A = this chain, B = another copy of it.
Amino acid sequence: MTTDTPDMRTVHVALGSRAYDILIGGGLLASAGDTLARRFPGARAAIVTDENVAVRHAATLKQSLEGAGIATATITIAPGERSKSFAVLQQVVDEVLAARLERGDVVIALGGGVVGDLAGFVSGIVRRGMAFVQVPTSLLAQVDSSVGGKTGINTAHGKNLVGVFQQPGLVIADSDVLDTLPEREFRAGYAEVVKYGLIDRPDFFAWLEANWRDIFSGGSARVEAIAVSCQAKADVVARDEFEAGDRALLNLGHTFGHALEAATGYDSARLVHGEGVAIGMAMAHRFSSRMNLASPDDAARVEAHLSAVGLPVAVSEISGDLPGPERMLDYIAQDKKVSRGSLTFILTRGIGRSFVARDVPASEVLSFLKENLPS
């Protein structure tokens, strides 16, 4: 049992037979072995990680696991989105099988979103499903990608088009490991924290406006921000595990954001995912205001907070050339969340009042893009 304190929180994801806990707090990495030994008695483990994370954290985790009597193989992939490929998938699958792990054994994802997406997919298909544990080491992964069970790889046809829904059996989010993140990466993850406030938690957004500096510096405010974010995502996922409806709310800022990521060729020097989401959220609020759904004051408030933490809010903040409005609309329409050709957006009636808008007229989007894109 875990007793919640300001420095240690447990979020329960209520998914029936696939329910699981998210443990959040400082120092959890070093005690992960005991935690896993209690929850997966007799299991062995494969740690999947990338070269960057391995240097910082793999020894701590491996030592903790083996200290708790859990035999552990470590599988290291190259860092970056390019590892979300069929080739690396097959390689990691082969290494898990070579380690002779069985169905009750555990695949552990130690890393950010790429490692989690890939290792989760591997755990979902080896022996038609092994146990899976997420140990996210980026803020983005702790508050977003490690929760909800989406896993996958990219193909030439687009990102995340191949994968499975594979819920972890446990998520261990050590808030201290975020101290080693580059500031830009922490900020990008913070965009997703803001998103939960903007979807349906206006009080949380106000709390973020007041406390964001404490979150960036660590301690109990950071634990609180992660816990509320995980709870927010868990609530949506529990309502709609397989993305048939409400789960689309989590795409707030993502339709514009994904289009911008595609338009910049997924070049992280120009734009990382969380920055695209920040601009996308600002645009979603401005677009909602333009459609007379929300007050321009709300859009201004969102921009003010994102700007205060150092996140971009306008397309003009992206370096280099961008395609024109028509081409950008193509990127939006190719987004896989666009159902059967109609344009679906997450729009808002104000701070914390987002909703799924289907059949948004493409002409309105195009006019808006013309106003927002540098000419």
- Taking Cβ atoms with an 8 Å cutoff, the residues of A that contact B are 42, 86, 90, 93-94, 97-98, 102, 121, 124-129, 150-152, 155-158, 161-165, 242-243, 336, 339-340
> Knowing A86-B86, A340-B102 touch, does A125 contact B162 (C-beta < 8 A)?
yes
> Which B residues lie within 8 Å of A158 (CB)?
97
A97 touches B155 (CB 8 A): yes
Q: Which of B102, B121, B155 is in CB contact (< 8 Å) with A93?
A: B155
Nearest neighbor of A91 in chain B, beta-carbon distance: B86
Distance (whole angstroms) from the CB of A97 to the closest CB of chain B: 4
B94 touches A127 (CB 8 A): no
Given contact pairs A102-B339, A128-B152, a sample of 19 additional A-B residue pairs in the complex whose CB atoms are under 8 Å apart? A86-B86, A86-B90, A93-B155, A93-B162, A94-B155, A94-B156, A97-B158, A125-B125, A125-B163, A126-B161, A126-B162, A127-B161, A127-B336, A128-B151, A128-B164, A128-B165, A128-B243, A129-B242, A164-B164
Report how many copies the assembly holds: 2
Complex formed: what's the CA distance from A151 to B127 in Å? 10
Complex formed: what's the CA distance from A202 to B242 in Å? 42
Nearest neighbor of A158 in chain B, beta-carbon distance: B97
Complex formed: what's the CA distance from A363 to B346 in Å? 65
> Which B residues lie within 8 Å of A151 (CB)?
128
Q: Interface SS of chain A: helix, strand, loop or mixed? A: mixed
> Knowing A94-B156, A102-B340, A155-B93 touch, does A129 contact B165 (C-beta < 8 A)?
yes
Nearest neighbor of A126 in chain B, beta-carbon distance: B162
Nearest neighbor of A86 in chain B, beta-carbon distance: B90
> Which B residues lie within 8 Å of A42 (CB)?
340
Complex formed: what's the CA distance from A165 to B336 in Å? 24
> Which B residues lie within 8 Å of A156 (CB)?
94
Of A162, A242, A339, the most chain B CB neighbours within 10 A belong to A162
A–B Cβ pairs within 8 angstroms, 29 of them: A86-B86, A86-B90, A93-B155, A93-B162, A94-B155, A94-B156, A97-B155, A97-B157, A97-B158, A97-B162, A102-B339, A124-B164, A125-B125, A125-B162, A125-B163, A125-B164, A126-B161, A126-B162, A127-B161, A127-B162, A127-B336, A128-B150, A128-B151, A128-B152, A128-B163, A128-B243, A129-B165, A129-B242, A164-B164
